[in-house]
Structure 1
Amino acid sequence: MEMKNNFQFSIRGYEASDRRDVLALLADGVQEHVYPAFFRTLAYPDHVGVALSVCVAGYVLGGSSYFQALLFGGAWAGLLYYCCHEVHQGYLQRRLAAARGKASFLDGFLDGSSLWVAETEVGGRTRVVGAVAVQGVKGDAGGRGERGEDRTGGEEEVEEEEEGVFERYGELPLMVVSYGRRRRGLGSLLALKALETCKGRGYTRLVVDSSSPQAAANALYQKLGFVQTASHCESHANRWISMLARVDVLTLEKLL
């Protein structure tokens, strides 16, 4: 069903022809958080202390050279930027690699019932400026479970099996809005579309993974009633890179 607001956004089911636009939105959405993550990690007290120590070391080793001090300090800042870039770029590459496979999160939603795109007119042409997806999960009540293409919607949210009690809940594997179309209510429309879908399928809750640099997205989730339930700094990157990047992965949930 198509939905519109005062800014002439329309939300419709995802189609195969939208693939390139959605992947481009995903790439832009991930890469834009590199600089915020870098400035956040640069300002951590312990990292500031290391930067000052490195600058002093450069000054002394360079024979009272201010240039050497700046050079050493710049090298430390460059290392932190590299770590932040690696964490985000590695995540993006994994998502893009999955999107080229047969079992990707995009290929699984070709019927348009679990992934939607938002369109608007730009320069007389209709362009995709946002996307949101819902993925059904069955797992232990209160915990993470196995993801699947759960589109039944009419089944009971909790099943009792020999192993224990299971629930069906939703995850948000993708929600992105084009940078130039933000602060116009589109993010809220997409999130509400996901919430309505989860309620219609009888899911117990909606879970989304975010990160500490995504300040605007986290504020939107909290405004819609999501509560942070977990946080960690582990990533696919090398352990030392993850430690230096200091990017916290946040889990937020909303009960339905």
Structure 2
Amino acid sequence: AVSSIIGPYKSTDKSAIVSLFHFGILEHVYPAFFKAMSHPNHIGSSYFQAVLRGGAWACLVYYCCHEIYDAYLRRKLETEVADIQANFSDSQANGFWVVAMELNGKSKVAGLLAAVKSDGWDADAVDTPSLEAFQLVVSFNQRRKGLGTQLLVTAVEFCKEQGLSRVIVEISSLQTAAISLFRKLGFTVTFVNSNTHANHLVSKLARINVILYLHNICVCTMYIYMYI
């Protein structure tokens, strides 16, 4: 029999969590690369392509896609995820939830959601206290079972308990299932920018913009890396 339990972080989960966190971010590099390469600006002739030629051009575009995700991964592993106990378990303002799958008496980490309290930064919500869920990931073989929905609902309830006005989520536009989930829960596009925290040329070649989704009922927002 298989059952799932959503609970707080345990120190024994650290290795599995880091592995899942790593997978959940870098799994989008190849889809991002193929999406970027299909953009008209990359397909057609250009000065850069004439200089770099076929394979070298593809390698450059791949590097840019990889760099954006990998830089984000490194930044989180060196900050919030570096000490989950101190940054989440010992903090009443932050939350870290883990999905544990029970299979034949054995427990395995199948999903996670990490969230930290942050202040509003956009022009329409200055100083608006928010819960920023910077990573939501479910292991590949446990998807389409409602685990992502359960994790998100848990975060929203935590947000309400903390008296915060909105939840912020940052995901990739290539995560179509996740985007469908958020839209189903009432999120709509409200804002777009190109700030990926990466070098301007890297962002330009990877064809990435950041799109803000807003839920008008419980005032929840999410940021999406959108390839256009």
User: TM-score, normalised to structure 1's length?
Assistant: 0.73
Q: Deviations over 1:145-181 (max 9, x none)?
A: 4xxxxxxxxxxxxxxxxxxxxx433221221111111
SS of the residue 1:176 aligns to = strand
Residue by residue over 1:65-111, the C-alpha shift from the partner in whole angstroms, topping out at 9 and shown as x without a partner, is: xxxxxx9222211211111011111111111111465xx56631124
Out of 64, 69, 88, the residue aligned to residue 69 of structure 2 is: 88
- Aligned mates of 1:186, 1:216 — CA distance in 2: 12
> For residue 182 of structure 1, what is the aligned residue in structure 2?
143
2:36 corresponds to: 41
Aligned to 1:237: 198
What is the CA distance between 1:201 and its match in structure 2?
Answer: 2.7
Check 1:48–1:246 CA distance in 2 against 1; reply closer, same or farther (3 A cut).
same
Rounded Cα–Cα distance in structure 1 between residues aligned with 2:46 and 2:28: 22
Matched, 1:108 2:69: no
Residue matched to 1:202 = 163
1:11–1:118 CA contact under 8 A, matched in 2: yes
Number of residue pairs aligned between Structure 1 and Structure 2: 214
Secondary structure of the structure 1 residue equivalent to 2:195: coil
Give the partner amino acid of 1:37.
A
Q: 1:248 aligns with which of 205, 209, 212?
A: 209
Kindly indicate whether residue 13 of structure 2 is the aligned counterpart of residue 18 of structure 1: yes
Displacement of 1:186 after TM fit?
0.6
The equivalent position to 2:172 in structure 1, one of 211, 216, 231, is 211
* Structure 2: segments with no counterpart, 5+ residues: 219-228
Query: Unmatched 5+ residue regions in structure 1?
Result: 1-5, 59-70, 146-166
| d(CA) in 2 for partners of 1:144, 1:98 | 24
What is the letter of the counterpart of residue 50 of structure 1? S
Q: Does 1:127 align with 2:122?
A: no
1:83–1:241: 8 Å Cα contact kept in structure 2? yes
Residues 7, 187 of structure 1: alpha-carbon distance in 2 compared, 3 angstrom cutoff:
farther
Contact 1:210 1:251 in 2 (8 A): no
Does structure 2 conserve the Cα–Cα contact (< 8 Å) formed by 1:98 and 1:105?
no
Question: In the alignment, what sits opposite 2:118?
Answer: 137
- Pair 138,105 (structure 1): closer, same or farther in 2 beyond 3 Å: farther
